[in-house]
Structure 1
Amino acid sequence: MLDLALFFFLIAFVAIGFRRPYVWVLAYLYVDILAPGKMGWTFMPLLSPSLLTFCAAFAGWLIADPKRGSRFTLRQGLMLALLLYCWWTTMNADFPDSAGEKWSWVWKALVFGIFLPLTLTTRLRIESAVLIMVLSAGAIIISAGIKIVAGGGGYERNLFFVNDNSGLYESSTLATVAICMIPIIIWLVRYGTVYVADWRVKLFAAGLIFACLLIPIGTEARTGLLCIVALFGLALRDIKKRLTFLVAGGALCLVALPFLPQSYYERMATLGSTDGDESASTRVAVWQWTIDYAMEKPTGGGFDAFRGNKFTYDMPVKEQQGNTTAIEYREVTDNGRAYHSAVFEMLGEQGWPGLFIWVWLHALGLWHMERIRRKWRNRTGDGELWQAPLASALQNAQIIALVGSLFQGIAYQPFILMVIGLQCALWTYCKRLESKDRKVPFQLRREQGALPSGDAVAAP
C-alpha cells in the first residue's frame, strides 16, 4: 500500500506540472529531500523519481516558463566554478571508482542549486519552494520524533523511513538540518500566504519545531547539541525580551534534563575532550593529516581522498582496578577514516582552490542576507514586510548548518545547497524591486518637467 500511495502521489504531482510546469521544480525538491524511491520496492524503483523530476524541472523551465525576472548571480557563478573544479579533480582523483560514485550525486546537487534561483522569480514561487522543503524534511523528522517519544532514541538506532545512512537519513545530518529549519518554520507561520496562520497551522508548526528539537536528542548526535546552542544564540539577536527568553530557555532545559537517558549524557560528555573517545580522537588525527596532504597536493585528491590516510595516535583507555581507575595510553593505528568536517572535506578533496570557493560562497551569502535584512527591516509598505524576516531566517539557517558542518562531511549536502539557492533567489528578487523603486522617482520628476525628456536637445 505504501508503495502504491507514493507512486500515485508522485504521478499526481507530475501531472499537475503539465498545467503549471513550475510544479515540477517542487516535485524534484520533494523527491530529492524525502527520497521516496528508497521507500518503495516495486513501482517507485522502476519509476526512477529523481531522474524523472530532475529532467522535468529543467524541461518545464526551458520550454514553458516565461523567465521574467530570472537573473544569474555571482553566487551561482561560484557554484558553477565549484562544479567545474570538482569535475576536474574527479578526472584526476586518487581513487577514481570512489570519486565517480560521489560525483554521481554531487554534480546533480550543484547543478540544481545553480538552476533553482532561475525559477524562483515571485513571492509565491519562493514561498512554495520553502514550504515543500520544510514539509518534505518534516516528514522524516516527524516520523523519527514519534519513534523517539514512543520508544526512546539512541545512537545509531533505526528511527527513519528507510535503513539508509546517506543524505538526510544520516542521523547527524538530519539533526543539523532539523535545527536549521526552525527559523524557516517560524517565518512560514508569520508570513506564509499558502496556508493562513490559524490555530491549526500554528499547532502543526509548534509540533514540528518540537520534533526538530527532539532529533538531536533522540539520535544522540553531538553536532545537534552545538546547533541548538547556535540557534538560541542567534535568536537573541531578534528577540526584544532577551532576559525573559533566557530564563524561559533555562527553565525548559532544567525540566527536560531528568527525562534524558544516561546514554545521552555519556555521549555529550565527550564534547569537552577528545580523550577516551575514539571517534573524536581520530577526527583530530584526520584533520592534521588533511592539512599535511593539502600542503603536498594543493589542488586536492578528488572525492574520497581520505581513503589514502594512515596515522598513529595514543588512545587513553580506562581500566577499573578495585576502587581506583587506571588510565593506560595505547598506540592505535588507523587508516581510511572520513574527514568528519566540511572544511577538511573540501580541503582534502578540492584543495585550497576548492576550499576558497566554498568559503567565498557561504561568506557572500551571509553578507547578502545581512544587507537585505538591514535594508528592508524598516519598510512598512504593502508586500514589503516579509523580505527582511526571510533573509534573517535563511541567514540563521545557513549559520546553523555551517556550525554543524564543522564536524560533519556535508560540504555538498543538497538541502544546504537548496538553502543557498533560496538566498540567491531572494537577493535577485529584492534587487529587482529596488531597481523599480529607483526608476519611479526618476519617471515622476521627468513627467513633472524637472528632467529633460529623452529626445530633448541639450543646450550648447
Structure 2
Amino acid sequence: MIDLCLTAFLCFYLALGCKRPFLWVLAYLYVDIVAPQIISWGILSHIPTSLIFFAAAFAGWLFFDDKTDSRFSGRQALIFLLLLYCGYSTLVADFPKEAAEKWSWVWKALVFAMFLPLTLRTRLRIEAVILVMVLSASAIIIDGAIKTIGGGGGYGALRFFVDNNTGLYEGSIISCVAIAIIPLILWLARHGTVFPPDWRVWTFAGALIFACALIPVGTQARTGLICLGILAVLYLRTAKHRFLIVALMSGAVALAVPFLPASYTERMGTIENNQSDKSASTRLAVWKWTLGYVGSHPFGGGFEVYLGNTLRFETVVAQTSGSTTILRTQVQEDSGRAFHSSYFEMLGEQGIPGFLLWLTLQISGLLQMEMIRRRWRKRTGADEQWQAPLAVSLQLAHVIYLFGSLFVGIAFQPFILMLIGVQCGLWTYLRRVEPKLAGQLAQRRATRVRTNAVTA
C-alpha cells in the first residue's frame, strides 16, 4: 500500500507539472530529501526516480518557463568553479572507483544548487521552495520524534522510515538539519502566504519545532546538542528579555535531564572528556593525518581519500578498584576512517584550492544575508516586511550548518546546497525588484504630497 501511494503521488506530481513546470522543481526537492525510492520496495526502487525528476525540473525551466527575470550571480559562478574542480579531482583521485561513486551524486547536487536560483523569480516561488524543503525534512523528523517519545532512540539505533544510514537518514546529519530548519519554520509561521498565519499554523509550527528538538535526543548525536546550543545563543543575541529566557531555558533543561535516558547523558558527557572516547580520539587522529596529507598533497586526493589513512592514537581508560581510580593510557590503531568534519573533508579531498572555494561560498552567503537584513530591516511598506526576517532565518540556518559540519562530513549535503540555492535566489530576486519597489514608494509619496497640497 505504501509503495502504491508513493508511486501515485509522484505520478500526480508529474502530471501537474505539465501545466505548471515549476512543480517539477518542487517535486525534485521532495524526491532528493525524502528519497521515496529507498522507502519503496516495488516499482520506485527499480527506476531512477531522482534522475527523472532532475531531468524534468531542468526541461520544464528550459522549454516552458519564463526566463526573462532569471539571473546568474557570483555565488552561482563559485558553485560552477567548485563543480569543475571536483570533476578534475575525481579524474586524478587516489581511489578512482570510490571517488566515482561519490561524484555520481555530488555533481547533481552542485548542478541543482546552481540551477535552482534561476527558477526563483517571485516571492511565491521562494516561499514554495522553503516550504517543500521544510515539510520534506519534517516527514523524517516527525517519524523520528514519535519513535523517540516511544523509547525507540539510541545512538545508531533510531530508525526512521527505513533501515538506512545515508543522506538525511543518518543520525548526525538529520540532527544538524533538524535544528537548522527551526528558523525557517518560524519564518513560514510568521510570514507565509501559502498557509497564512493563524492558530493552526502556529500549533503545527510549535509541534514541529518540538519534534526538531527531540531528534538530537533520539539519535544521541552530539552534533545536534551543539547545534541546539548555538541556535539558543544566536536567538538570545536579539531577544528583548534575555535573562528571563535564560532562566526559563535553564529550568526546562533541569526538568528534562531526569527524564533523559542514561545512555544519552553518558554520551553527551564525552563532549567534555574526549580522551576517554575512542570516537573523539579517532577524529582528532584523522584530522591530524589530513593536515599532514595536505602538506604533501596541496591539491587533495579526490573523493574518499580518507581510505588511505593509517592512524595511531592514545585513549585514556579509567580502572576502578574499590575507592581507587587509576587512569591508564592505551595505544589504538585504525585505518580508513572518515573525516567526520566538512572542513577536513574539503581539505583532504579537494585540497587547499577546493577548500578555499567552498569556504568562500559559505562566507559570502552569510555576508549577503546580512546585507539584505540591513537594507530591508527598517522598511515599513506592505510588501517589505518579509525580506529581512527571511534573510535572518537563512543566515541562522547556515550558521547552524557551519557549526554542525565541524563534526560531520556534509560538505556536499544536497539539503544544504539547496539552502545555498535559496540564498542565491533571494539575493538576485531582491536586487531585481528593489528598484521597482523604490519607484513605487516614491510615486506614492509624490501622490500623497499632491493630495495634501490640494487639500490645504
TM bracket (short chain): over 0.9
Matches within 5 A, 1:49-448: 49-437=49-437
Matched residue SS, 2:347: helix
TM value normalised by structure 1: 0.94
1:14 and 1:151 mapped to 2: Cα distance? Answer: 38
Q: Deviations over 1:101-130 (max 9, x none)?
A: 100010000000000000011000000000
> Which shows bigger deviation, 235-244 or 46-55?
235-244
Q: Deviations over 1:45-76 (max 9, x none)?
A: 23422011100000000000001321101111
Matched residue SS, 2:150: helix
Aligned to 1:20: 20
Structure 1 residue 155: Cα displacement: 0.7
Matched to 2:425, the amino acid is: A
Matched residue SS, 2:275: coil
Check conservation: 1:148, 1:159, Cα contact below 8 A.
Answer: no
Structure 1 residue 224: Cα displacement: 0.5
> Which shows bigger deviation, 56-65 or 332-341?
332-341
Aligned to 1:40: 40
Q: Deviations over 1:245-273 (max 9, x none)?
A: 22222221122111111111110111113
Check conservation: 1:285, 1:313, Cα contact below 8 A.
Answer: yes
Runs of at least 5 residues in structure 2 that lack an aligned partner in the other structure: 445-456
Check conservation: 1:116, 1:422, Cα contact below 8 A.
Answer: yes
1:322 and 1:355 mapped to 2: Cα distance? Answer: 51
Q: Deviations over 1:357-390 (max 9, x none)?
A: 0110010000000010111011111211000000
2:160 and 2:419 mapped to 1: Cα distance? Answer: 23
Structure 1 residue 313: Cα displacement: 1.4
1:227 and 1:256 mapped to 2: Cα distance? Answer: 18
1:25 and 1:441 mapped to 2: Cα distance? Answer: 33
Structure 1 residue 332: Cα displacement: 1.3
1:101 and 1:151 mapped to 2: Cα distance? Answer: 36
Aligned to 2:453: none
CA RMSD in angstroms comes to: 1.6
Structure 1 residue 443: Cα displacement: 9.7
The number of equivalent residue pairs is 445
1:63 and 1:74 mapped to 2: Cα distance? Answer: 25
Matched to 2:72, the amino acid is: F
Structure 1 residue 231: Cα displacement: 0.5
Matched to 1:381, the amino acid is: G
1:277 and 1:194 mapped to 2: Cα distance? Answer: 47
Matched to 1:298, the amino acid is: P
Check conservation: 1:68, 1:121, Cα contact below 8 A.
Answer: no
Structure 1 residue 298: Cα displacement: 0.3
Check conservation: 2:93, 2:305, Cα contact below 8 A.
Answer: yes
The alpha-carbon distance between structure 1 residues 441 and 262, as it changes in their structure 2 partners (threshold 3 A), is: closer
Runs of at least 5 residues in structure 1 that lack an aligned partner in the other structure: 445-460
- Work out the percentage of aligned pairs sharing the same amino acid: 55
Matched residue SS, 2:354: helix
